[in-house]
Structure 1
Amino acid sequence: MHGGPSFTPTSATGPANVQTTVYLYVAALLSAVGGFLFGYDTGVVSGALLQLRDHFKLDLVWQEWVVAITIAGAWLFAILAGKLNDLLGRKFIVIIASSLFTLGSGLMAGAQSRWWLLSGRLIVGFGVGLSSMTVPLYIAEVSPMQYRGKLVTINQLFITAGQFCAAVVDGIFSTDPDNGWRFMLGLAAVPAVFQFTGFLWMPESPRWLAGKGRNDEAYTVLRKLRGKNADIEDEFNAIKASGKEVNAEKSCAIIEVLADPFLRKRLLVGVMFMVFQQIIAINTVMYYSASIIEMAGFRDQSQAIWLSAGVAFINFAFTIVGVLLVERVGRRTLTLSSLLGVIFSLGVLSAAFYAGNINSPAVTFNVSDSSPCDVYETCGTCIADSLCAFYHNADSLKAACVLRHVNETAQHPVDWIKETSMCPVPNHLGWITLTGLGLYLVFFAPGMGPMPWTVNSELYPLWCRSTCFSIATSFNWLFNFLVAMTFLSLTEALTQQGAFLLYAVCAVAGFIFFYFMQPETKNTSLEDVKARSNQAVTISRH
């Protein structure tokens, strides 16, 4: 019947047929360590950047590159991940990714120069790119339909756990400015080695095995994942049928997808999920949370790092809410409600920074009557003009807005402020900004955090799943890179309030798009996607 051992189900239908096993959970959780590494290596830079900035004398552009080079590597390998997954299998790619995490972490911990540091960050990015696409795909393909959303969302929970652990590690080593960053960046090697070792004993995806015509192995793996008393005949037959279609597929998958109206729409939704996740500022908040907290007026470096750890914990805690709700309320409801909250919280952040800028130290005297900087009345408005710098002496209460080329050597350098992040603001406004950051993650974490990965793992049939997921993931990292490379510069060009207002406008656009375009994939089997696709093509041809 199927080339595997015969099986007589103990019950026909009903909840008894839906079973989970310890083997399934071990496979899902161990693969999700890749999500933990994804979160740790992208989140650790928030606190480490403050020390790296001083240790390596990094200017604004170098700071952005230290953050963005990992994202650039992730983007490149996310593009390659689809083909590599099809050729080598999900299991082998997870093992490769954990090897790259280990190598990159070691290089960063031992970095003696900027370029050495960048090489380690780039290699870690390669691991992130492979892991970010492969892990949710693997979990979706080994999970039963009724638990798929919850198990895939656990990957996002591990990502946020990685970000939180990174923030705690940053806080612990924040008191050692000379070598603390080495421990921050190097400790990722520990879970990477754990995953590499453990995953050697994990199964390959039964759907990938069926796609390679290895039906006996696929049946054996599915039986171990579902349990000895589960009825797997219908699920296996559907997987085997999809596998035959993969084997028969001779043309370019992406051309076939674009020729199919149903799949073309789904690919658009999948890609836009990834794009909007990035342009509504999540990784601006996570990569630069310590810097944003500094901008809000918390000048002590260790304090800023520990406060950013609190922000990361909120992200982790409210991702648990997403895990609990994803199978109850559905993907669509979580997405739309999340975006509404994000719009509100970004508005709070923008308003808080605006209030901080207009309440920053006032100009008390003018250096000359002819300077174009004389028109500005506060530190925030002064520094927003790239031509001007703010001189502020707290002891003498002297403050002036002057041209940046004015000779500063006669004054103590600490008195000169050239970045908007360094303008002192009233303490209560700083706490409003911190509240805005917390609210942002309260709303983002249950919905727009996990849903792009969960939904993309469910949108496509097996024969094009790796290709479409890879394309969508590459857009995630492309826009992640663009946002990371431009945030600090954007705050200089538009001010902090302008930057967060721009992100809020993007969130409004995202809400409109998903309100009209997002399908509900709750309680839909992965094989049922193929049937819907064929039905859509048949209708379009008549």
Structure 2
Amino acid sequence: MDTDEETYILESDKQRLNSRLVFAFFSCVIGSSFVFGVHTGVVNLPQTKIEQFLNETELHRTGHHMTQSKITLLWALIVSIWAIGGMIGGVNAGYFADKLGRKKGLLLNNILTFLAVILFGFSKLALSYEMLIVGRFIAGIQCGISTGIAPLYLSEVAPLKLRGAAGTLNQLAIVFGVLISQIIGMDFILGTDKLWPILLSFPVIAAILQLLTFSLCPESPKYLYINKNDRYAAIRALQWLRSGDSFEEELQDMQIQGESCENTEKMSICGIFTTKWLRRPIFISIIMQLSQQLSGINAVIYYSTQIFRKTAHLTQTASQFASIGVSVVNFIITAISASLVDKAGRRYLHLLGLGGMFCAACALTTSFLWEVNDKYILILSTVNIE
């Protein structure tokens, strides 16, 4: 090792969480994972207000009220087109992460947030639900890109001993965003007939915060070392992030990975599925993602207020508070998981969660099919799915 490099590597026996690392974590998730959570939960509480806007727009254009079937169709489109945009953004996230870098990719991704917010903010003024639909689509693309880049940055800047916990910060920020969006979406805050466009535009605050804070953070050391082949820049980034802790082991690990990448051919998506030794890990990864996405969690986040109101026969305000309660439980359990992931293990926690979701889904389905009008069973089963 060169003498100049030795001056950057500070000797210490421990790697710990420090203020700079916390700042980097916060700056990364505030405009990405947190915004993802806000966009996920923000349409839940003001559903009736937005449906009224759809009806008013139709009345202004044609002189006739919108049919209930068309309102339902448009509402389903407003909710689901965000996921379509997310798929498009997610597929291209890897390209932007490697082409622009993790830091620059996340910073530039905020442009999409600003575009979506402009459409949200002026949709009611322009009496255009098309602007609302396009805004949700653009927001979905932004969230898809950030979902691919943010966890990558978190894992690459975290010390080896903290990478498990750092990986859960992405999900923790998401559920916190869902919780905040539902709190400010209450009828007496921003979920009113006049203020719901401002509610949908709330992510602009997080985007501005990320632009102000993340610009001060370094690029991912792993990206600098392996992708850009800049060892000195990687050392400077590690020096900033570790704030006095040793990072020589991480440099050695990056060197090994860099050499491995040089001897490995780049593989397409189709190549991943056709390569024999990759099939099992890819299959496991897909099943784990499907087990989460098909658990019913998305339906709960999108429609919990409506479920509580129509099935448990709660009032509008009580349904909103019940939805917030569900999100509070979700946030608490995610925070607990973040502290246990390196101790209890990923597999055990995932299986435990799947077992709870299975029991809750059975109870929820039973209450729907047999019209069990017990609001406590409904609320508990919905909470357990979260």
Fold equivalence (TM over 0.5): yes
Deviations 1:102-157 (A, max 9, x none): 32123112213110111111111111001111111110011112111112212211
1:214 and 2:263 correspond:
no
Unmatched segments (≥5 aa) in structure 2:
56-69
Unaligned residue ranges in structure 1 (runs of 5+): 358-425, 442-542
Q: Deviations over 1:203-255 (max 9, x none)?
A: 11111111221111011111222233x33222202202322443555543546
Number of the residue aligned with 1:434: 379
Q: What displacement does 1:3 show?
A: 9.0
Runs of 4 or more consecutive aligned structure 1 residues displaced over 6 Å after TM superposition:
none
Give the equivalent residue in structure 2 for 1:94: 106
Choose the corresponding residue for 2:19, options 19, 22, 36.
Answer: 22
Give the equivalent residue in structure 1 for 2:44.
46
Distance 1:83 1:97, change over 3 A: same
Change over 3 Å in CA distance of 1:227–1:256 after alignment to 2: farther
Q: 1:437 to 1:4 in 2, by over 3 A?
A: farther
C-alpha distance in 2 between matches for 1:207 and 1:261: 28
- Determine the structure 1 residue equivalent to 2:74: 62
- Correspondence list, 1:449-460, <5 A: none
2:63 corresponding residue in structure 1: none
Q: Which moved more, 1:166-175 or 1:92-101?
A: 166-175
Q: Distance in 2 between matches of 1:325 and 1:241?
A: 29
TM-aligned CA deviation for residue 178 of structure 1:
2.1
The alpha carbon displacement at 1:439 in A equals 2.3
2:64 aligns with none
Distance 1:286 1:201 in 2: 34
Write out aligned runs for 1:319-468 (5 A).
319-356=334-371, 426=373, 429-441=374-386
The question of 1:85 aligning with 2:101 is answered no
SS at match of 2:5: coil
> 2-side partners of 1:215 and 1:256: how far apart?
30
In 1, Cα distance between equivalents of 2:170 and 2:242: 20
1:106 aligns with 2:118: yes
Tell me how far apart the structure 2 counterparts of residues 268 and 299 of structure 1 sit (CA, whole Å).
42
Distance in 1, matches of 2:135 and 2:196, equals 13
- Pairwise mapping of residues 126-205 of structure 1 onto structure 2 (< 5 A)? 126-173=141-188, 177-205=192-220
Q: Distance in 2 between matches of 1:4 and 1:165?
A: 47
Q: CA RMSD in A?
A: 2.2
Given that 2:46 and 2:191 are in contact with CA atoms closer than 8 Å, whether structure 1 keeps it comes out as no
Once the two structures are TM-superposed, the CA of residue 301 in structure 1 deviates from its matched residue by 2.8
Partner of 2:243: 227
Cα distance, 1:440 vs structure 2: 2.1
Separation (CA, whole Å) in 2 of partners of 1:253 and 1:218: 27
Does residue 124 (structure 1) correspond to residue 139 (structure 2)? The answer is yes
Q: 1:204 aligns to what SS in structure 2?
A: coil
- Judge which range, 268-277 or 27-36, deviates more: 268-277
Letter in 2 for 1:333: Y
- Would the aligned equivalents of 1:4 and 1:215 in 2 still touch at CA under 8 Å? no
- Are the equivalent residues in 1 in contact too, given 2:191–2:199 (CA < 8 A)? no
Alpha-carbon deviation of 1:430? 2.5
What's the offset of the Cα at 1:258? 4.2
Is this contact kept in 1: 2:190–2:196, CA < 8 A?
no
Q: Equivalent residue of 1:324, what SS?
A: helix
Aligned to 1:5: 5
Change (3 A) 1:232 1:175: closer
Larger Rg: 1
**What is the alpha-carbon distance in structure 2 between the residues aligned to residue 275 and residue 36 of structure 1?**
22
Query: How high is the sequence identity, in percent, across the aligned residues?
Result: 27
Tell me: CA distance 1:260–1:6, structure 2 relative to 1, closer, same or farther (3 Å): farther
- Deviations along 1:299-358, one digit per CA (max 9) or x if unpaired, are 53333223211211111111111112111101000011111111111111122223426x
Residue 99 of structure 1 contacts residue 193 of structure 1 at CA under 8 Å; is this kept in 2? no
Distance 1:9 1:82 in 2: 32
CA contact (8 A) 1:99 1:196 kept: no
State whether residues 112 and 138 of structure 2, in contact with CA within 8 Å, keep that contact through their aligned partners in structure 1: yes
TM-score, normalised to structure 2, is 0.88
- Distance in 2 (alpha carbons) for counterparts of 1:103 and 1:236: 39
Between structures 1 and 2, the one with greater helix share: 2
